[in-house]
Amino acid sequence: MDAFRILTGGTRLDKKRFQADVAHFEAPKADPVASTSTALPSELDFFGATAGDGAVGSAEDRKAKKKERKWKRAEEAAGADSAASTPADYPALLRRHKIKLTGLDLPDPVASVDDVVRRRRAVGGDTAAEGAEVLAQNWKSLGLKDPTGVQMAAWGTMLAGRDVLACAPTGSGKTFSFIYPLLALLSPSSASPDDSVIRPQAVIIEPTRELAVQVLRETRRLAGGGGWKAAVLGEEGVGLAKGKGKEGKKGKGKKGKKEKKQAGEADAEEVPAAQVDAPEPAEDGASGAEAYKVPIDILITTPLRLVFAIKSGAVSLSTTSHLILDEADKLFELNFLEQTDEILAACAKDRPAEAGEIRKGMFSATMPSSVEELAKGVMAGAGSGMVRAIVGHKEAATSTIDQTLSFVNTEDHKLLSLRSMIQGGQFTPPVLVFVQSIQRAKELANELVFDGINADAIHADRTPQERDELVRKFAAGQVWCLICTDVMARGVDFKGVKLVINYDFPQSAMSYIHRIGRTGRAGKAGRAVTFFTKADAGHLKTIVNVMRQSGCTVPDWMLALPNPSQDAKKALKMRPLGRKDISKTLGSGNAGDEGGAKREKSKKRERIMGGKRGVFKKGKKGEEGKADKASESKGERPAKRAKREVALDE
């Protein structure tokens, strides 16, 4: 017991133990005049706060920068038409950014957006370089400077026409790492008047609707003025299935609906087909499929939606040149595997020889080796084979996050601990709080609202519109504290989240890495506090291992804790620990109150929540919402959950 209390002290970076890492990652020595942003590790210092000739850094850092400057000068001297630069310096770049490339005949990483222009020009002259020039211009106008490590590796690999499997920390810019080279490689396509089928040049698969929309937004930021068309596949995109196009009226629409019923998706909510350089419905009133006569260069979608669209004949992937699986490890889990397989099969089906082999890219912050094996099987065929790019440690969290484990004894003490964090000024909004079920999210939100905290809960029980609205409010600072289930753990790029609290202990190392990765993004500092009770203690080592990999120091006795067995890990992943309802714990409005006071409190709570509910209109849940809900309810449905089990080597 006492031993656990020691854990509440949190963690600190053991500079002596991780000397080598510190040399790479640690910020320049404290400079009384410098701004706080100089505390960023150099490879994540996207905005160049530590760059420039006057930057102070470790000897190794200075040496690497000197080499890089020399290499850049040599590259400039090599002239605009040269695709290559001094190859001898690429290894230094890889070392500096902690990029580990494996594969045959490895392509050089890309050092800058101008390097992309040069490479495209070397391949196909001015015409091929046109898109890259637009992108470079947009990149600079966005105030972005050097590409990040994963961008350097993925850009180089994709521009060289190779398949890539990339694993890099949360918030390290993986989205641009595939969007940028895709756009650079694709010329905007022109409409084919009799083509009522969407034949995208590239397809990006995301596990949730929110991520698909977010990726579209990021594409928009880069693509302006280039003539590319990108869209999120929505009900409109499967317009045939809704009977909006001529063919749809004749039957494909019905088929689409039937398929939805079979898949248990009768309530599928229409996702507005958000568009870049939007193809507007034709003026004669045609919509749906008619509208999509306009070609789509990049189609962003969730797996299920794409599978429906392929089956209904609205989308064909037989000429698609690039397929990106974002959050790839998630897409290879059992609940997505079948759909991912169908999509891969659709890329090969009826593929004309002139379309060539489809190029693939897989990206994630976590990549268990069992999943990697599956992925490799899919990518093995390409040219000299795929390139594997790992940035930093594979099973580590982002080094800019200060991670703390906090012992709270029992469920009864969690709410009290949270309150004491709030009262002690350690609760620095915007804050994300993760719990293990929808019910607990609702209960905790009730408690915090009752305490006067500007909090709300986001989970798969809310409609897509409600989720969008909450995300917007959180981003705008109107909601300070968002209580989430694991649905929000992956990929979501909230700017400036300062603190993540794991109110409920995460069910796996992967869940932990993704959850806490909502803070400490793009080189910014962040904090993560994980509550654990006596009941969670058997799984503590799983998180300790991640903390150690991330460069945090942990007491020796804690390192000596036994690892949970593989069976115990699987069991926890399948089903969270049973926990006392938050509303029944000590310190909740419902517990420990007497008579009238209790009734008064619960009336007040009802009033607050009643008002809150009024903010949102009831609506249908989206397909992803349903899938998310199923996975959020894991604890209550062990039989269904068992089907989701996937061998993970965490």
The least CB distance from residue 329 to ligand ATP, in Å, is 11
Radius of gyration of the chain (CA): 25
Looking at the Cβ atoms of 399 and 533, the one nearer to ligand ATP is 399
Q: What is the DSSP letter of 314?
A: S
Angle subtended by helix axes 174-185 and 149-159, to nearest 10? 30
> For residues 87 and 143, which CB has a smaller minimum distance to ligand ATP in the complex?
143
Q: Which residues pair with 530 in a beta bridge?
A: 405, 502
Nearest Cα residue to 232 out of 199, 204, 257? 204
Residue placing its CB nearer to ligand ATP in the complex, 171 or 243: 171
Cβ nearer to ligand ATP, comparing 48 with 564 = 48
CA–CA gap between residue 397 and residue 285 (Å, rounded): 51
Nearer to ligand ATP, 39 or 198 (CB): 39
- Alpha-carbon distance of 512 to 397, in angstroms, equals 8
Strand partners, 532: 407
Residue 371 or 561 having the CB closest to ligand ATP: 371
Residues at the site binding ligand ATP, with contacts judged by CB under 6 A: 46, 144, 147-148, 151, 170-176, 365, 491, 493, 517, 521-522
> 48 or 385: whose CB is closer to ligand ATP?
48
Handedness of CA 180, 184, 186, 189 (dihedral sign): positive
Main-chain dihedrals φ then ψ at residue 588, nearest 5 degrees: -80, 160
Six-digit token string for 329: 């490890």
In the bound state with ligand ATP, the residue whose beta carbon lies nearer, of 97 and 570, is 97
- Minimum gap (Å) between residue 176 Cβ and ligand ATP: 5
The CA-atom distances, in angstroms, between 522 and each of 18, 133, 302, 328 are 22, 24, 25, 21
Q: How far is the CB of 509 from ligand ATP (least distance, A)?
A: 15
State in angstroms the smallest separation of the CB of 109 from ligand ATP.
13
Taking the C-alpha atoms of residue 53 and residue 69, their distance in angstroms, rounded to an integer, is 10
Distance (Å, whole) CA 154 – CA 132: 15
Least Å from the CB of residue 541 to ligand ATP: 24
**What is the residue-wise DSSP string for 616-648?**
S---PPPHHHHHHHHHHTGGG-HHHHHHH----
Closest contact distance (angstroms) between CB of 64 and ligand ATP is: 18
Query: What does 548-617 look like in DSSP terms, one character per residue?
Result: HHTTEE--HHHHTSPPPPHHHHHHHHHSPPP---GGGSTTSTTSS--HHHHHHHHHHHHHHHHHHHHHS-
Closest approach of Cβ 46 to ligand ATP, in Å? 3
Note whether 173 and 43 are within 8 A (CB): no
In the complex with ligand ATP, the residue whose CB is nearer, 143 or 377, is: 143
In the complex with ligand ATP, the residue whose CB is nearer, 145 or 376, is 145
Q: How far apart are CA 41 and CA 18, in angstroms?
A: 14
Using alpha carbons, select from 145, 286, 271, 140 the residue that is nearest to residue 216.
Answer: 271
To ligand ATP, the closest distance from the beta carbon of 431 in angstroms equals 17
CB of 127 to ligand ATP, least distance (A): 26
Residue 398 beta carbon to ligand ATP: minimum distance, rounded to whole angstroms: 9
